[in-house]
Structure 1
Amino acid sequence: MTQTLALTGRDLFWPPADELTEAAERIRARLGDWPPTHAPWRICLTAPDEPNGGDLIVIADAQQHGEQVARWQVRGAGVIEAAQNRAALHLGGETYRLEGHLSEDWIAALAAFLDCGFDPHDALVLALAWRDGDETRANDAFPSDLSHFPRLGGLPGAPEPAFPSCPPRLGLYPVLPSGEWVERVAGFGVKTIQLRHKSAEPADELKREIALSVAAGRRHDAQVFINDHWQAALDAGAYGVHLGQEDVHTADLAALAAGGIRLGLSTHGFYEILRALHFRPSYIAVGAVFATTTKAIPTAPQGLKRLARYVRLLDGVVPLVAIGGIDLQVLPDVLATGVGGAAVVRAVTEASDPGAAVSALQHAFTQ
């Protein structure tokens, strides 16, 4: 049983609700050991007189509360609108819309997942994946049946046809800054590579880097993905494109799918995983697993425990790539989660001998 339980006596609900606290503690005891949360959220079943940034106020209809909802959010509180198998979280200027089952224990489950350190939008996803009595069926009752997870509302339709598949286990996946680097690493025998060319060079220079990378992939029979620059990648006939969450609303996904280009999507938690799955990508990247200095990440490091949960949930559904702060030292622990791909950056580009570094990293996948 987890040693981090401390729900009884905490300001967990408003107004105080012993039965809900007991149910939350019972659920929490079956979710495994997680570091104590640093954000002690309070779930409010009625609005407190002085809501603050630690409150999640549960209501049935936001329209009925009108100006109150706006005032609560100005004070930093979140608002959860829940009714008729739908839930929407309004927090920090964002709205997260979910459609799915609301069990009798969903509020207690929400409290338990918040205590595990999940951000409110991910905790709400997990609360809707919860089924009454799950805590009685296994010592580890953490949701792992994708069919129980909610759907996301308000998303545009997924492109038809779906994106082409890629190998189920992508293996070592270096993320490289230039076409020269792609050529070099492909020559070492690496079969999955990403060009992440971030400099503000003229368009013709960008096209040149992409063309060099695509040509290197074809020459060495490697799968080369282009980060962000989807139109240039499409024009160059690239194998694949890798996009961030924000890009799915601006990129022409239908054109990419029709062009036979593979799509990889970045995710940083359960909510974003569900959003990525909606678009039926070729693979999903999950992270950042560890702290990284190569890219600004909007969320805290996910860690190996969460990575293992993502693998368990999505095994056989879509290929996964772990990314963020991965080097040779931690790679065996990353692969022990069962993930089939691991992206690396500095472990190759800052190595004194990139060829030897690639060989050692490749070897870790065979152990």
Structure 2
Amino acid sequence: MTDTLKLTGRDLFWPPADELTEAAERIRARLGDWPPTHAPWRICLTAPDAPNGGDLIVVADEQHQHEQHGEQIARWLVQGAGVIEAGKNGATLQLGGERYRLEGQLAEDWIAALAAFLDCGFDPHDALVLALAWRDGDEKRADDAWPSDIAHFPRVVGLPAAPSQPFAPCPHELGLYPVLPTAEWVERVAGFGVKTIQLRRKSAEPAAELKSEIARSVAAGRKHDARVFINDHWQAALEAGAYGVHLGQEDVHTADLHAIAAAGLRLGLSTHGYYEMLTALHFRPSYIALGAVFATTTKVMPTAPQGLSRLARYVRLLDGVVPILAIGGISADVLPDVLSTGVKSAAVVRAVTEAADPAAAVASLQRDFDR
């Protein structure tokens, strides 16, 4: 890796800032090899005459500054730009109708770091998380200076309170984690000796049928000493006494997390990047799912595939902090590559449900974990 990585061919800053560009190049050169980004992000330290969807306009968030720029900010957002309000205690990004509030330390070169992480292909809200985790001089400490100390990462502001009682723990290594469509499949795969399973029922169905499916799945878990998680349907999971539930990011605002924790159920939360990881950590879940690692056809994903390079860095950050699960598009062919990142748990769907011989497929997948 060279000492600098040339970014001067791109319009990184407005107005042009040679010193910032040089700092961004130094930082970017220590972040590893990433596919070139095609997103036209430009960090604006003063507002351009005609903002566009590639502009991130940085303003001070002091009260008088906010009042002064209030109407301008609204206009910039309507024009498609993003706005970063930065202050002593963190930064807030407004972009695409969303507001991302982060509390943490701003290093002197955080703007240069933001440009470097944007160049690595991260969406602005995740790049901003990494910029706040950056510390001046980090690029001098290692060939790969990627932020990996969770203590340096910012905190997401404005989330609902986490339950006072922590969620029950689950093993650090959940191993093979099939995500299955029916109770019949859960019974079958639990009979193969798999110890962690998720029932994911996405189709609309009568409440009585749903409860029956969940009850059968929970019973199969008890019979075979398997950990059965129920996707989404937390009320029915509570009634059935499930081992745990798995929820998406949107569910933390609607599910009764306090009731789930009080009942002793484990909680798994989906994440699709750094900002959502920090959101999940706020609630102290039993495990965090990282994905989608690869493209998947089993559900519509809100983000592009993460890939193995990102997964490896997520594992480095969260290892020892919370159990983690790789999920999304993981087949038998790529499972060894996924496990090579250091992750100890991986979810599969079609690798089991579409296998010609599911029992043999499970046995083969299990061997990858045992190596």
User: What is the TM-score of this pair, normalised by structure 1?
Assistant: 0.99
Which region of structure 1 is more displaced relative to structure 2, 32-41 or 120-129?
A: 32-41
Please give the secondary structure, in 1, of the residue aligned with 2:237.
Answer: helix
CA–CA distance in structure 2, aligned partners of residues 148 and 207 of structure 1: 44
CA–CA distance in structure 2, aligned partners of residues 170 and 50 of structure 1: 51
**Letter paired with 2:169:** S
- The answer to whether 1:45 aligns with 2:45 is yes
CA–CA distance in structure 1, aligned partners of residues 22 and 89 of structure 2: 24
Match of 1:91 in 2: 95
Match of 1:234 in 2: 238
Match of 1:79 in 2: 83
**Letter paired with 2:142:** A
| Cα contact 2:23–2:109 (8 A) shared by 1 | yes
Match of 2:247 in 1: 243
Please give the secondary structure, in 2, of the residue aligned with 1:95.
Answer: strand
Please give the secondary structure, in 2, of the residue aligned with 1:68.
Answer: helix
Match of 1:261 among 255, 259, 265: 265
CA–CA distance in structure 2, aligned partners of residues 321 and 3 of structure 1: 35
| Cα contact 1:210–1:233 (8 A) shared by 2 | yes
Kindly tell me: are residues 348 and 73 of structure 1, through their superposed partners in 2, closer, same or farther at Cα, counting changes over 3 Å?
Answer: same
Please give the secondary structure, in 2, of the residue aligned with 1:117.
Answer: coil
Please give the secondary structure, in 2, of the residue aligned with 1:66.
Answer: helix
Alpha-carbon shift at residue 6 of structure 1 (Å): 3.4
CA–CA distance in structure 1, aligned partners of residues 191 and 223 of structure 2: 9
Kindly tell me: are residues 2 and 198 of structure 1, through their superposed partners in 2, closer, same or farther at Cα, counting changes over 3 Å?
Answer: farther
- The answer to whether 1:295 aligns with 2:299 is yes
Flag structure 1 segments of 5+ consecutive residues without an equivalent.
none
CA–CA distance in structure 2, aligned partners of residues 2 and 193 of structure 1: 45
| Cα contact 1:266–1:284 (8 A) shared by 2 | yes
Alpha-carbon shift at residue 3 of structure 1 (Å): 10
**Letter paired with 1:157:** A
Alpha-carbon shift at residue 63 of structure 1 (Å): 3.4
Match of 1:32 in 2: 32
Please give the secondary structure, in 2, of the residue aligned with 1:326.
Answer: coil
Moved over 3 A (4+): 2-6
Residues 304-356 of structure 1 show CA distances to partners (whole Å, capped at 9, x for unaligned) of 00000010001111111000110110000000001010000000011111111
CA–CA distance in structure 1, aligned partners of residues 187 and 363 of structure 2: 16
CA–CA distance in structure 2, aligned partners of residues 10 and 116 of structure 1: 14
Please give the secondary structure, in 1, of the residue aligned with 2:23.
Answer: helix
Match of 1:353 in 2: 357
CA–CA distance in structure 2, aligned partners of residues 116 and 2 of structure 1: 16
Alpha-carbon shift at residue 160 of structure 1 (Å): 1.5
Matching of residues 135-214 of structure 1 within 5 Å: 135-214=139-218
**Letter paired with 1:192:** T
CA–CA distance in structure 1, aligned partners of residues 50 and 188 of structure 2: 60
Residues 261-306 of structure 1 show CA distances to partners (whole Å, capped at 9, x for unaligned) of 0000000000000000000000000000000000100100000000
Match of 1:308 in 2: 312
Please give the secondary structure, in 1, of the residue aligned with 2:370.
Answer: coil
Alpha-carbon shift at residue 9 of structure 1 (Å): 3.6
Kindly tell me: are residues 195 and 203 of structure 1, through their superposed partners in 2, closer, same or farther at Cα, counting changes over 3 Å?
Answer: same
| Cα contact 1:214–1:236 (8 A) shared by 2 | yes
Matching of residues 207-226 of structure 1 within 5 Å: 207-226=211-230
CA–CA distance in structure 2, aligned partners of residues 23 and 325 of structure 1: 37
Please give the secondary structure, in 2, of the residue aligned with 1:339.
Answer: coil
Flag structure 2 segments of 5+ consecutive residues without an equivalent.
none
Match of 1:17 in 2: 17
| Cα contact 2:4–2:25 (8 A) shared by 1 | no
Alpha-carbon shift at residue 8 of structure 1 (Å): 1.5
| Cα contact 1:262–1:282 (8 A) shared by 2 | yes
**Letter paired with 2:139:** E
CA–CA distance in structure 2, aligned partners of residues 4 and 213 of structure 1: 55
Kindly tell me: are residues 4 and 208 of structure 1, through their superposed partners in 2, closer, same or farther at Cα, counting changes over 3 Å?
Answer: farther
**Letter paired with 2:329:** G
| Cα contact 1:69–1:79 (8 A) shared by 2 | yes
Match of 2:132 among 114, 121, 128: 128
Please give the secondary structure, in 2, of the residue aligned with 1:21.
Answer: helix
User: What is the TM-score of this pair, normalised by structure 2?
Assistant: 0.98
Aligned sequence identity (%):
81
Alpha-carbon shift at residue 40 of structure 1 (Å): 2.3
Kindly tell me: are residues 303 and 4 of structure 1, through their superposed partners in 2, closer, same or farther at Cα, counting changes over 3 Å?
Answer: farther
Equivalent residues, number = 367
Residues 154-203 of structure 1 show CA distances to partners (whole Å, capped at 9, x for unaligned) of 01111011001100000000000011100000000000000001121100
**Letter paired with 2:28:** R
CA–CA distance in structure 2, aligned partners of residues 234 and 2 of structure 1: 55
Residues 124-144 of structure 1 show CA distances to partners (whole Å, capped at 9, x for unaligned) of 000000000001111111000
Match of 2:323 among 291, 296, 319: 319
Matching of residues 330-341 of structure 1 within 5 Å: 330-341=334-345
Residues 216-266 of structure 1 show CA distances to partners (whole Å, capped at 9, x for unaligned) of 000000000000000110111000000000000000000000000000000
| Cα contact 2:4–2:26 (8 A) shared by 1 | no
Match of 1:283 in 2: 287
Alpha-carbon shift at residue 64 of structure 1 (Å): 2.5
CA–CA distance in structure 2, aligned partners of residues 134 and 263 of structure 1: 35
